[in-house]
Amino acid sequence: MLEPLDLERLAQVGSRLSLDPLASERELIQTVFDTLQTPMDAQIIGLLLLEAPQPGLYYTAHEPPTVTLCQQLEKRLLSVLDSLLTPEEMPQSLEHHPLPGCPQAHKFNLTEFIGLPLVVEGRIAGLLFATRAKLQPNFTAIDLTLLGMVCGQLGVTWKVLHLNRQLAEQNRQLQALNSYREDFIRNLSHDLRTPLTCILGYAELMQQYGERLKPEQNTEFVGQIVIKSKSLRLMIDNLLDFGDGQEQNIQVETVNLSECLRQARIDIEPLLAEKQQRLLLNVPVFLPPVLGDTVLLVKVLLNLLHNSQKFSPVGSELLLEAQHREQWVRVCVRDRGPGVDPEALERVFERFRQEGLRPVQSSAEGLGLGLAVCKDIIEAFNGRIWAENRSEGTAFCFELRLAT
C-alpha cells in the first residue's frame, strides 16, 4: 500500500528523472531502482534491457541470487518477453548486472511478479519488473500503477538521455568541422597565393625590364608564368568540382582513352620540366574505347600526374601505364616518391581525412582535393580507383569499363 510519504517520493520521480543531470543509462537505472525500492517493498527490482548501450539483466536484491534462482528469473522473464517480442527480437543471452539496493531480506522466490514493457518511441526497449516473496503481500493495482508511472517516465528520460548524447556528438562534429574549415581556408589562401606570387613576380620582372631582357630570359619567364598558371587553374578547377560534389551532371559517353593520355601528357610536361622530371610511357598502341567523358578523364589523369610529380624527387622518372584487361582498361601513374603509409592508402581519396581533419597533403603545394575529385569522377563512370605502394614509390590506378 502506498503511504503519503511514498506518494511524495513518487511526485518527485518526474522531476528527478527529467531534471537531474544523468550521465549514463546505468545511472538512470539506479535512480529508478532507488525510487521504487521503498514504495514497492519488493524483493527484487529489475530491468531487462534489450538495447544499447549494454543489454542485459539489471536488478537490485538483498543478496545475490544463486545460479538456480537466476535461471528461474531468466526463465520467467523470457516467458514474458516471448509474448511481447518476435523470435528475432528475443535476446540470445542475458548478462547479469547486479546493482546496490533492496534492503528487504526476504528469501528469493518468484511467488509474485509484475512487469511492464519499457516503451521508447513506440518500440519495446526492455521490461521493468518487481518481485515479492512468499511471505509478502500480493501486488495490487496501486503497485502496478506505480510501476507504470515510473516505467512511462523512464521511457521519456531514456529518450532524452539519448537525444542529449546525440546533441553532444553533433556539437563535437560541428566544432571539428569548424576547425577543419578554418584550417582549409588558411591552406587555401596559402596554396593559391604561392603560384600567383610567382606569376606576378615574373610578370613584374618583364614589365620592369621589358626589352632589356635577353630572349632566353623572356622565354623562361613566360614559361614559368604558363606553368604556374596551369597549376593555379588545376587548383581552381578542383576547388569548383569539390564544391559541386555529387551534384555535377556527368554524361557518360564513348571515349578514346589514348587521346586523353596524349592530352594529359602534353599538359603535364611544363610541370615535369620544372623539376627536371621525365614521364615514361608503357601504353599499348591500340587501347579500346572506354565509358567516360574526355574532359573529365584528362582532368583525372592530370591530377594523378600532378600529384605524383609533386611528391617525386627532382630529376626522377614517372611512369604512365595502361593495360587492356577483359572488360576493363586499367591506367596507373607510378611515382618515385616516399610512398604512402599503408594504413592511410584507403583514405588518400577521402575528401575529409580523419587524421586531424586536415585536407589531403595540405603540406604540399595544392589544395589536397585532387584525389578526392578523381574518385568522384571515376566512380561516376562506374569505375574504381585505388592507390598501392610499390617497391619504390606509389602507384595510383583506375579502371574503366570498355565501351562495347
Partner 1 sequence: MHPPDSGQPDNLAPVEMSIAEQVSSQVKSEVVDIYEELLINIWNKIVPTLGQVTVSAIFDRAIHRTIKSHSFIEYLKVNRSHLDFTQLREHLTERDKTNIKDGFKDLVTNLIDILAKLTGNILVNVVMQEVEGFAGDI
402 secondary structure, DSSP code: B
Q: Report the residue number, 160 or 199, with the smaller CB distance to partner 1.
A: 160
Q: Report the residue number, 118 or 373, with the smaller CB distance to partner 1.
A: 118
Q: Which residue, chain included where needed, has cell 509484475?
A: 114
Residue range at the interface with partner 1 (CB under 8 A); choices 43-51, 118-126, 161-169, 187-195: 118-126
Q: How far is the CB of 115 from partner 1 (least distance, A)?
A: 5
Binding to partner 1 (CB under 8 A): which residues in 129-188? 138-141, 144-145, 148-149, 151-152, 155
Query: Measured between alpha carbons, how far is 107 from 132 in angstroms, rounded to an integer?
Result: 9
Q: Report the residue number, 108 or 184, with the smaller CB distance to partner 1.
A: 108
Q: Report the residue number, 159 or 390, with the smaller CB distance to partner 1.
A: 159
32: nearest Cα among 49, 54, 53, 55: 49
Q: Report the residue number, 27 or 89, with the smaller CB distance to partner 1.
A: 89
Q: Report the residue number, 94 or 124, with the smaller CB distance to partner 1.
A: 124
Query: What angle do helix axes 25-40 and 141-209 make, rounded to 10 degrees?
Result: 160
CB burial of residue 2 (10 Å; 0-12, 13-18, 19+): middle
109: nearest Cα among 57, 61, 41, 49: 61
Contact 320, 282 (CB under 8 A): yes
Query: Measured between alpha carbons, how far is 376 from 373 in angstroms, rounded to an integer?
Result: 5
14 binds partner 1 (CB under 8 A): no
Q: How far is the CB of 33 from partner 1 (least distance, A)?
A: 19
Q: Report the residue number, 113 or 386, with the smaller CB distance to partner 1.
A: 113
- The binder of partner 1 chosen from 119, 176, 213, 250 (CB under 8 A): 119
Binding to partner 1 (CB under 8 A): which residues in 192-221? none
User: Which residues make Cβ contacts (< 8 Å) with residue 335, sequence separation at least 6?
Assistant: 307, 308, 309, 311, 312, 316, 318, 319, 393, 394, 395
- Please report, as a single letter, which amino acid is at residue 148: G
232: nearest Cα among 306, 298, 176: 306
Binding to partner 1 (CB under 8 A): which residues in 56-115? 79-80, 83-86, 112-115
Q: How far is the CB of 77 from partner 1 (least distance, A)?
A: 10
Interacting residue ranges for partner 1, rule: CB under 8 A: 79-80, 83-86, 112-117, 119, 122, 124, 138-141, 144-145, 148-149, 151-152, 155
